[in-house]
Chain A
């Protein structure tokens, strides 16, 4: 690889590493990845910066004497003028696609033994910069670190819970779920969502006083009177691309709250279950709602 190419590639590796490190340091990474991936981002970022800077500083082998070919060199061209060793010229395969250039033909190629000769089958720096940086810059320009409302819907925000057994019982609830000062169960939104799919649990949990935390969005299911909002949480395995959104309905007795969509809130009220078009949805009849602090990570993890 020519020295200039190595330096340009080194710069690109440094930029990629810088992007990773920036996402980690700015904590924006928590909007994209599960927590157990965050340290990989930092390590990968630092590693790429080291690789990039090292390549910029050392774009070529410093000791030509290290070009010590121990074994037979099977080429059909003469390297002897750039490396003081014998080649025997047995050829085991055809080199139809390229010519091994001689030292004086290499652009900026002081060392003939840089490990690659002229095997540069990859893309040049121009194409590599174009194909990697353009989508990255576009993405960084248009992202808002979250799904749009349409995107949330595609990830399942308005879907009814699957018909299955909820992952907890009433005993689990009494034992594990804390209560707030008003005596309301501080139930996870995901558990409230899945409870909708378990008919046996409906009778156990119906009319339970609960406080549920989540993010607000517009309600589009069974909301002809416009008195409802949707509360959702996103759960992931690794990254936002594998996200599933679980949503429950908040029913306000009189009018909707003034708190804007996408705010984090704690809604207190009574847990109920409602049939709509043959599916069961979880609905909380809201008594009160207040803004909540945004958690460090947007996501709940599936494997926890």
Chain B
């Protein structure tokens, strides 16, 4: 084995374990919650407190992350069970996409990472919420059977399963196994790409920093590959000192909604065709809106203070 391959194996293994160890407890937490929710939450419980109006229901669902903060790993098994329990798919989609960004933990980490900047924090949370809601509202007009996997719909039939501890544990175990497989595939792919394809120290990557139109899609691609946790990715974005606002914002908005491991996690709930469409839509929406925010910030930036010539 050549030294390069050996080094790549070492680094890939190191990064695989780092992401696996970091994510698995939260995946477990998510599946535990989902298993117990699926067992004990009365069917259609959400219909009781969500507004009857479809649009209002989606708008409210996008805000639920503020009350039930979850990272992107934990949210997938949770919404999977909620859909089975009767939560409208569009509301689940709004919650799934918005919650990893629109929650207090992410807000605080972004605020601290960007030196107490309300502008970046507000832009990130605002864009995350807006994009999640737009996608969900569009999908609310489409039959959910076209994007939710058939197997998930089959689970959503109208009868109660036994509400016992054993049933809840079995549901949690089943969810853990289903999601764990895709999590392992996603982490393997991420570690592989990070040790072979992506090298941010090269001139190519450095050159992208000078132009936001090139840097924004590049940073979304990087966020997709790096598969970072939404609660901490702001610290990475903030340290990408040479990039301007749009690439950093796109990195922090796109990553929690779509990354290499999430593609596989999403496939436990959604059809592959929809996941691909979602990827493209999020890429375009996030990129365009991030560039718009950067342009707007430049327009509204106050003039630099004038230094008096004769103090």
Contacts and interface: CB of A to CB of B under 8 A. Distances in A.
Interface of A: 1, 6, 9-10, 12-13, 16, 20, 23, 29, 32-33, 37, 40-41, 43-45, 47-48, 51-52, 54-55, 58, 60-63, 66-75, 92-93, 95-98, 113-116, 119, 121-123, 127-128, 131-132, 135-136, 138-151, 153-154, 156, 158-159, 162-164, 237-242, 244, 302-303
Contacts of A136: 20, 184
B34 interface: no
Interface residues of B, number: 81
B22 A37 contact: yes
Nearest to B241: A162
Contact of A135 (B170, B172, B188, B235): B188
Nearest to A164: B241
B178 A239 contact: no
Interface stretch (B133-141, B149-157, B284-292): B149-157
A139 B15 CA distance: 9
Contact of A142 (B10, B20, B162, B173): B10
Contact of B226 (A68, A153, A156, A241): A241
A27 to B, nearest CB: 13
8 contacts: A6-B173, A13-B173, A41-B25, A127-B181, A138-B13, A241-B194, A302-B113, A302-B235
A45 B26 CA distance: 11
Q: Which 9 A-B pairs have the closest CB atoms?
A: A44-B25, A121-B151, A151-B11, A162-B241, A148-B7, A240-B18, A237-B232, A142-B13, A143-B13
Given A93-B153, A128-B180, A151-B7, A47 B28 contact: yes
Contacts of B172: 51
Dominant SS at the B interface? helix
Nearest to B175: A122
Contacts of B190: 241
Contacts of A6: 170, 173
A159 B241 contact: no
B185 A131 contact: yes
B15 A241 contact: yes
A225 B104 CA distance: 53
A32 B18 CA distance: 5
Given A58-B166, A66-B163, A303-B112, 12 more contacts: A1-B174, A9-B174, A32-B21, A47-B28, A61-B166, A62-B166, A115-B39, A140-B13, A144-B14, A151-B11, A163-B241, A302-B113
A113 to B, nearest CB: 6
Nearest to B199: A154
A128 B24 contact: no
Contacts of B7: 148-151
Contact of A40 (B8, B11, B25, B235): B25
A51 B171 CA distance: 11
